[in-house]
Structure 1
Amino acid sequence: MDLRGWAAHEAAVDRLRSSYAAIPPGAPVRLAKKTSNLFRPRTATSAPGLDVSGLDGVIAIDVDARTADVQGMCTYEDLVDATLPHGLIPYVVPQLRTITLGGAVTGLGIESTSFRNGLPHESVLEMDVFTGAGDVVTCAPDGEHADLFDAFPNSYGSLGYATRLRIRLEQVPGHVALRHVRFDDLGLLSKSIAEIAETASYDGQRVDAFDGVAFEPGEYYLTLATWQDEPAPTSDYTGQQIYYRSIQQRETDTLTTYDYLWRWDTDWFWCSGAFGVQNPTVRRLWPKRWRRSDVYHKLIGLDRRIGFADWLDRRQGKPLRERVIQDVEVPVDRLPEFLEWFDEAVGMRPVWLCPCKALRDWPTYPLEPDRLYVNVGFWGTVHVGPDALDGPRNRAIEAEVHELGGHKSLYSEAFYDRKTFDQLYDGENLAAVKGRYDPDDRLTSLYDKAVKRQ
């Protein structure tokens, strides 16, 4: 286990500063980073970027205090590998292995503990942020730089990049017991989600984490997870068996804690089917080390460059596809409305359901504190015809989510006009904080990143 020391961390920060100094004055400041978990187009550039090499590890773990100092480019896979041997995990571990801690905090991560622990940034005690002015600023919920701390979540690098984060950790045992509970009625599903989140229990049994899947209209499941000390026979969904299918096939299950954290990564939820990986024959031939979300993401990027899927559709006489890849949060009581609308207007299934709440006010992503929302995640394509490039389904989703009092994450494409965007994401405050920490406007603004797709 590679636990980086403070001296190595400071050396990496010095390299970061040097790379900043090498960027011509007035030129945009970006990360020199080839990989990404984002799903919005980015403008290619040959300009030098910030050197973040050496900022991808765990600096130190305080087992007694249940905290960790972690570098911003550290993936959750590496973070969990460092903490789990101590019986500890981050409060929220996003679904995909290669999401970085800094990325989840400056963006938005979510998972099945979010109904009680909020989003990843809510377990951050303090962080060092490399700003557009080339300074490293230590910020916390209180103090001189609390404005930067509060505005940082959902800023996507427009306010700077986290080089170090001190986070709280949670004690966990070695196993997770699962119950897959089916619901046929959307109203009962919504009511049950609210009750489970309120009581952290279902049918008299404790619930430590839960999420769900809407397979078809009238077929909804909640997967209720309970941390478990007692060893038990466990399932393995990294081989021939596929996790999301097990939800429909069995009422109970047991996974190791490690496998539970990465249950969605092996098949990128259900998206591996687009590459044939769910075919039993293909799956046996597909190397196990390639059954990972980052591999599928690279294949998607390759298809974007060569246009193979579009060529195949043309050959088969199918309408042009629109990519509909979004995560949105809607209030739990509006979930039935949204799913009924989504079935009719978009018609994509399955979709992921993950209850979540904000533990306090975060201005750049203003979910109402302590109000329960449900994250609805859907990732695929819809045949819409020649209008596909204009994003008609995505635009309709934005309007519907807005109408229902929800919000949407900005890791994928967005189409808001500037006025609406600033209303939804507190543009006035964001501009003020950016003006303080990036006075020469070296970093791309959030609107330009998310909507103009720079």
Structure 2
Amino acid sequence: MGYPQRLEHLRQRLRAYTGPNIRLDKATSNLFRNRDTSHSGLDVRNFQHVLSVDPATRSIETEGMVTYEDLTDAALEYGMMPAVVPQLKSITIGGAVGGIGIESSSFRYGLPHETVHEMDVLLGNGDVITCRPDNEYRDLFLGLANSYGTLGYILRLEIEGIPVKPYVRLTYIHYTSAQDFFKAVDESCRGSYDFVDGVVFAPGDHYLVLGEFCDEAPYTSDYTYLDIFYCSIRSRSEDYLSVRDYLWRWDTDWFWCSKNLFAQNPLIRRVLGRKRLNSITYQKVMRWNTRAGLTRQLNRLTGIHRESVIQDVDIPIENAPEFLQFFDQEIGIRPVWICPARHDGARGAYPLFPMRKDTLYINFGFWDGIRSQQAYPTGHFNRLIEEKVAELGGIKSLYSESFYPREEFSEIFGGDEYQALKAKYDPDNKLKDLYQKCVLGH
């Protein structure tokens, strides 16, 4: 069955759908907030095919539920990769565009939604429309980013691909000053590097990581089993990885979050084996723990109050040192991932995730919990972050918990433009509302 046949079959199922608000039933999810699973979803697991890779036009055509692991493997066979490959193998291309993704090539190519040429979108009434930046559906083309399936579901995309070389040479540079560190990030993004990111391990302990494609390598390191990538950053000044291992360097240990599951213990790594050391395994364990409530029960018995703080926020680089200082004083989670992103090549203004074109942004990624003997109001630390991000002219991703009041949320994430898109493309409210989905967890 080809894409047109799969498409028609899905349209028929949607028109026969009798549930309340439509939601997707798919194989993977990288959300860290409550999801309504009280009714069955629309099965879209058949839309997992890479349709074409064309090195001549530097384009890749793919269905929306394809994971970046499968998408990247298909592209690498042609000496290409998607222009931006988010960090975890299980992230889908449709999820990264309808949500928000980022990686170390984002300083050059922007976020995943900024690399899209066109999309087929399934609307709540069963219609499928093709959106491009130059056709009558330009408003939806731009509005889908950060809409989380509340305007329509992305079934097919044509995205930008870039040529690759077999290896990536990594250079690690240490800085004790945050000001010097962010200045070096800015300068590096103006250079010829292919990849730029970094890690802040502690106050005064900043590492800039620079990547360059190369045809040959004197050696290659392996961080898919016993050795741990983020630990290597502090112990060496240079490294070489195959291009595939570079793209998935963070997946084996879910950045560093595998430590919460004791999976950085050499014995446990041997027991799990190479195939189970990945973000998919950790997500399954964490979601099982959330359902079972073991951590909650343990915290209750020990008198510990815990708030999950799992966030990615984007801050204009001129305000990045101030945000890091605030973060050190009020939150204190470590390590923190640093990833620059530029938006001057965007195909227009994305109303649900507005970012300036005249500045480099710094993404701060932090994923852990804050434990204390003192009880704070629900969402206390997350709300501190939301307020500081807004004060500094930044914006945060919505894949995790959010605590915005409705009016503030509307001001940041689309407001009247979102309501106009909702009225035009989902007038019967077959799909959920963005605030209800991302803040209220409906």
Structure 1 length as normaliser, TM-score? 0.94
Deviations, residues 374-420 of structure 1 (Å, cap 9, x unaligned)? 00000011114564561100000000111111000000011111111
- Do structure 1's residue 166 and structure 2's residue 158 form an aligned pair? yes
Q: Are 2:83 and 1:91 equivalent residues in the alignment?
A: yes
Quick check: 27-36 or 271-280, which moved more?
27-36
Do structure 1's residue 38 and structure 2's residue 57 form an aligned pair?
no
C-alpha contact 1:12 1:53 (8 A) present in aligned 2: no
Q: Map residues 431-450 of structure 1 onto 2, 5 A cutoff.
A: 431-450=419-438
Contact map agreement 2:28 2:90 (CA 8 A) in 1: no
Say whether residues 1:295 and 2:295 are aligned partners. Answer: no
- 1:209 maps onto 2:195 in alignment: yes
Q: Matched residues in 1 for 2:290 and 2:338: separation? A: 28
1:100-115 matched pairs, under 5 angstroms = 100-115=92-107
Q: For the Cα contact (< 8 Å) 1:113–1:208, is it kept in 2? A: yes
Residue 420 of structure 1 aligns with an amino acid whose one-letter code is E
C-alpha contact (below 8 Å) 1:239/1:288 kept by paired residues: yes
Please list the CA deviations of residues 407-449 of structure 1 after superposition, one character each: whole Å capped at 9, or x if unmatched: 0000001111111111111221011011111110110011111
Aligned to 1:197: 189
User: Paired residue for 1:353, among 324, 334, 338?
Assistant: 338
Shift of 1:372: 0.4
From 3, 11, 27, the equivalent of 2:5 is 11
Query: For residues 40-439 of structure 1, what are the structure 2 equivalents within 5 Å?
Result: 40-46=33-39, 48-198=40-190, 200=191, 206-315=192-301, 317-358=302-343, 359-360=345-346, 361-385=349-373, 387=375, 390-439=378-427
* Equivalent residue, structure 1, for 2:18: 24
For the residue of structure 1 that corresponds to 2:42, the secondary structure is coil
Instruction: Please tell me whether the aligned partners of residues 26 and 45 of structure 2 are also in contact (alpha carbons under 8 angstroms).
Output: no
SS at the partner of 1:132?
coil
Q: What is the CA-CA distance between 1:190 and the residue it aligns to? A: 1.4
**Does structure 1 retain, via aligned residues, the 8 Å contact 2:25–2:45?**
no
**Identical residues among aligned pairs (%):** 46
Kindly state the Cα deviation for residue 32 of structure 1 after the two structures are TM-superposed: 1.9
Alpha-carbon distance change, 425 to 330 in structure 1, aligned in 2, over 3 angstroms = same
In structure 1, give the amino acid aligned to 2:221.
S
AA in 1 matched with 2:153: Y
Give the secondary-structure state (helix, strand or coil) at the position aligned to 1:74. Answer: coil
In structure 2, C-alpha distance between the alignment counterparts of 1:326 and 1:260, rounded to whole Å: 23
Distance 1:245 1:318, change over 3 A: farther
State the secondary structure of the residue aligned to 2:172. Answer: strand
**Which whole-Å CA distance do the structure 1 matches of 2:281 and 2:264 have between them?**
15
Residue 260 of structure 1 and its aligned partner are, at CA, apart by 0.1
Q: Deviations over 1:80-120 (max 9, x none)?
A: 11000111000000000010000000001000000010001
> Does the aligned pair in 2 maintain the 1:89–1:172 contact within 8 Å?
yes
CA distance in 1, matches of 2:238, 2:232: 9
Conserved? CA contact 1:9–1:54, under 8 Å:
no
Counterpart-to-counterpart distance in 2, 1:391 and 1:208: 38
Is the 8 Å Cα contact of residues 19 and 49 (structure 1) preserved in structure 2?
Answer: no
Contact 2:317 2:360 in 1 (8 A): yes
Are the counterparts in 2 of residues 12 and 52 from structure 1 also a CA contact under 8 Å? Answer: no
Paired residues of 1:193 and 1:332 also in contact (CA < 8 A): no
Q: Structure 2: which 5+ runs fail to align?
A: none
> How many residues of Structure 1 are paired with residues of Structure 2 in the alignment?
439
Whether the 8 Å CA contact 1:318–1:383 is kept in 2: the answer is: no
Q: CA deviation at 1:33?
A: 2.8
Query: Which runs of no fewer than 5 residues in structure 1 stay unpaired?
Result: 1-6, 201-205
Computed over aligned residues only, the root mean square deviation of the Cα atoms, in angstroms, reads 1.3
TM-score normalised to the size of structure 2?
0.97
Q: In structure 2, do the counterparts of structure 1 residues 249 and 388 end up closer, same or farther at CA, with 3 Å as the change threshold? A: same
For residues 23 and 113 of structure 1, do their structure 2 counterparts lie closer, same or farther at Cα, with a shift above 3 Å needed? same
Counterpart-to-counterpart distance in 1, 2:413 and 2:43:
29
CA distance in 1, matches of 2:3, 2:196: 36
Aligned equivalent of 1:203: none
Distance 2:74 2:106 in 1: 22
In the aligned structure 1, how far is the partner of 2:423 from the partner of 2:366? 35
